[in-house]
Amino acid sequence: MAQFKVEGGVPLQGTIVPAGNKNEALPILAASLLTHESIQLSNIPRIGDVESMIEILRLCGAEIHRDNHHEITIQTEKILRTELPKKLCNKIRASVLFLAPILSRCGRVRIPFPGGDRIGRRRVDTHLLGLQALGAQFDVSDGFFHVWSPHRLKGADILLDEASVTATENLVMAASLAEGVTVLRNAASEPHVQQLCAFLNRLGAKISGVGSNVLTIEGVDQLRGGSHRIAADYLEVGSFIGLAAVTGGALWIKEAAPEYMRMILHQFSRFGVEVEIHGQDILVPANQEMKNKPDVNTSFVKIDDGPWPAFPADMMSIATVIATQAEGTVIVFEKMFESRLFFVDRLISMGANIILCDPHRCVVVGPTPLRRQVMSSPDIRAGMALLMAALCAKGTSIIQNVEQIDRGYERLDERLSALGAKILREE
């Protein structure tokens, strides 16, 4: 177990390049199993969740070569196993993304219940019902999903019962090699879903409607090899903007994919956090005003999350910390996960003026000076939010269980130290 020792009160200054998008890399790694030909991926983030996916790929029979620190080549001429081990899959939610590729190539797959962040109930029904609509059968027992199909999957018109990102990704992968045409309605359209579709189309898939909530997939007999560059992680960019704002520093964020940042920047502007866009780069000026801008005829700001293009659920923890340093009252409404806001008890122990109303809502009144604290990181995004709080707090804080942060942020302590942060990793 590792921990961060963080001395707060130092403005971050300098230039930083965001890593590749974790939520894009994970489904594309799984999708590499759909073809027996070579796949080259670049800008792959070196983080815990990616390493877990690569380990599962190797167990499936993939040959993986690292061309350099952020580039890999994958080739899976034959899938050697259709049952995945509990130990690995329990570490990562994205292990569920192996359902469709292994089923499509082998006709059956057995995967244990996926792990990942404990932020509330996370259904898999949409995955299984969608595969069933394509002709698969499934059984759930002994902590495993067993899915099989005696024949090639067949296209269908499917209405997803929720706009699940990973279910959309699984069904797009399955439909790409199914017989006939599949229409996915109420599909997720997040940037990483769009990039997965672009990757599959590059391999010979026929997917249209990309970026909308209705996807049409014309099945093909096989996919070829190809290459793909993982886009910048817009959630990491949002985290860096928040870090600059709460510490009073100035950051130049290069290759920041501002086309995916519009809703995040809009919501941050309601806290008084403004940025400048220079081509593909984003500048966060120093010493932001940090004063809430309420809606017309109200005295507070309300921020909530939802499916793309709404404010991302993964940014709610970051927004909550920013709210503690902005003047005014904010109502935070986390609609998607009933346990994500429980991390605010750590912020309260640091001096934040927060009332947790129920599992989905809290009220934040700022600004409040934060003080040092010893705390543990409960999940990836809450861990980043606690690190933000520690960097703007008075005194030296300890953040334990930073392996959770490592799952989603690459070498965060080293990269922030280069910006002036006083952060030390201790084993």
Task: Catalytic residue, from 49, 117, 233, 379: name it.
Answer: 117
Residues 6+ positions from 175 with CB-CB distance below 8 Å: 134, 153, 155, 182, 184, 217, 219
**β partners of residue 277:** 282
**β partners of residue 276:** 283
Query: Distance between CA 269 and CA 273 in Å, rounded?
Result: 5
Is residue 109 within 8 A of residue 126, CB to CB? The reply is: no
Say whether 125 is catalytic: no
Query: Distance between CA 411 and CA 370 in Å, rounded?
Result: 25
Query: Distance between CA 96 and CA 73 in Å, rounded?
Result: 22
Active site residues per annotation? 117
